[in-house]
Chain A
Amino acid sequence: MEAFWGTLQNSFERVFIVDDRWTLLARGLGLTLLITLLAALLGLVLGFLIAIVRSTHDKMTGLKPVPRAVLNLFNGIAKLYLTVIRGTPVVVQLMIIYFVVFGAVNISKVLVAVIAFGINSGAYVAEIVRSGIMSIERGQMEAGRSLGFSYAQTMVRVILPQAFKNVLPSLGNEIIVLLKETSVSGYIALEDLAKGGDIIRSVTYMAFMPLIVVALVYLTVVIFLSHLVTRLERRLRASDH
């Protein structure tokens, strides 16, 4: 027993204390959270725009030929984006954006990761928001339009606030998925949380402890975020009139 504790203490020191290796995990967590936050914001903006284009295309009638053609074009681009992004692995997208798109440019890797994960998340956010928009009764748009609001004004004032509220829990879950997906950032040599654990593993030749700790840190953050989502859901239901 004593021997066991001795070994454990010994490996804990080698893994975390020597050379201040724990800072790899601390800085890694910071980077993971930073990338997740910024990518989530980008994803939300992209997702809302795409969702609006998609649902407008499906619902709009009585347009003049030119706006109709523009809308068709945007809708085509949106559909292509959704198909490509949701049909390929995020790690491949990340590498393409880093090595191909920005291959010849000197650009911050963090920025590349934010762009890649943001574009990826946007595709999923778009479908979530679109389902939220479609869940709002047709009468809401008609009531807004009958008062004289334009389509865009009705969207912003009437439809989106209700849709957003309905899909907030799903958006929360999407951010949790995003957080876990950023763990492939190491593929472009970013030292995020997962990469930090892997570096410790490779210099200490000890796999168990660094990787388990990395898993526990992810788990803690995810449980915390899930808790926030649940509370949000409960708050929303309570204020549901």
Chain B
Amino acid sequence: MTIDDRNPQNESMQSENILIRVKDLEKRFGDLTALSEVNIDIHRGEVVVIIGPSGSGKSTFLRALNMLEDPTAGAVYFNGVNLADLSVNINIHRQKMGMVFQHFNLFPHMTILKNMTAAPIALLKKSRAEAEADAMRLLTRVGLAEKAHEYPAMLSGGQKQRVAIVRALAMNPDVMLFDEPTSALDPEMVGEVLEVMRDLAREGMTMVIVTHEMGFAREVGSRIVFMDEGRIVEEAAPEVFFTTPRRERIAQFLRKIL
């Protein structure tokens, strides 16, 4: 990446410590507008929790951050580079944006260790030994070292999701994106996954999390973003958001979910 590829905004973004800047983001699926006029700055070390009713565009927004959904208008600056620009090599930037999915999406034909080392070896040019050592360290951290040589199908949902998290971490990302990471889990497994995420937040990882776990959002979030009908309608610190919601729509949503 040369200086020329960078957006002029880069300078101000650096000084303000902004990792992701979303400008007038819009996403349409045919006639349906899933996102419109979305603007937000995400700072380094921040934990942004996105909540909102079903179909409000939370997943679409999260997936637009790393261009899994290509926006129909607007920009996503990541480290100062507009990812929505088709001439940008998105693959390079995705290496720095870990993503965790609701359904884990581990590679079923690879062992846990292979799941975790494939990308670091191929993309970061790590040696196998180095990648495996790093992977083992991460697995140990989430208490799954003894599963390294198993296949994903042998793991419980909670274990799979913990592996999915450390698989993304193995790329040493600048930000982690989570789309309802606990929604597909049996209730007794939710805690172990949230615990790993809590640790990450404590270590200062920048995180964007879509979740329905309000207790967790309140505890870990540095900012709550409420989406409705494809727009960000409210942004506030958790203590403000949950105690004095300013809009009836939000109060209604919170009554239903809490």
Q: Which residues of A contact B (CB under 8 A)?
A: 61-64, 137, 139-140, 142-150, 153, 157-158, 161-162, 165, 240-241
Contact = CB atoms under 8 A, between A and B. Distances in A.
A148 B67 CA distance: 11
Interface in B59-103: 66-68, 70, 86-87, 91-92, 94-95, 97-99, 101, 103
Contacts of B70: 61-62
B91 A149 contact: yes
Contacts of B94: 145-148
Q: Which of B94, B97, B98 has the most CB of A within 10 A?
A: B94
Contact of B101 (A64, A139, A157): A139
Given A64-B87, A147-B94, A148-B171, A153 B122 contact: yes
B167 interface: yes
Interface in B151-184: 151-154, 164, 167-168, 171
A147 B107 CA distance: 12
Nearest to B89: A150
The 6 closest A-B pairs by CB, nearest first: A241-B153, A148-B95, A143-B105, A62-B70, A146-B99, A139-B105
Nearest to A62: B70
A147 B168 CA distance: 7
B109 interface: yes
B105 to A, nearest CB: 4
A63 B70 CA distance: 10
B143 interface: no
A162 to B, nearest CB: 5
A139 B152 CA distance: 15
Interface residues of B, number: 32
Contacts of B240: none
Contacts of A147: 94-95, 118-119, 123, 167-168, 171
Contacts, number: 69
A145 B68 contact: yes
B27 to A, nearest CB: 12
Given A147-B168, A148-B171, A241-B152, A62 B105 contact: no
B108 A139 contact: no
Given A147-B123, A147-B168, A241 B108 contact: yes
19 contacts: A61-B70, A63-B86, A64-B87, A140-B105, A140-B107, A143-B99, A143-B106, A143-B107, A146-B98, A147-B94, A147-B118, A147-B167, A148-B95, A148-B119, A149-B122, A149-B123, A150-B91, A161-B109, A241-B153
Contacts of B167: 147
A165 to B, nearest CB: 7
Interface of A is mostly: helix
Given A143-B99, A146-B97, A147-B167, 12 more contacts: A62-B67, A62-B70, A63-B86, A139-B103, A140-B107, A143-B101, A143-B106, A146-B66, A148-B95, A162-B109, A165-B109, A241-B154
A143 B122 CA distance: 15
Contacts of B171: 147-148
Contacts of B154: 241
Given A142-B68, A149-B123, A62 B95 contact: no
Contacts of A153: 122
A64 B88 CA distance: 11
A106 B109 CA distance: 47
A157 B118 contact: yes
A70 to B, nearest CB: 15
B174 to A, nearest CB: 12
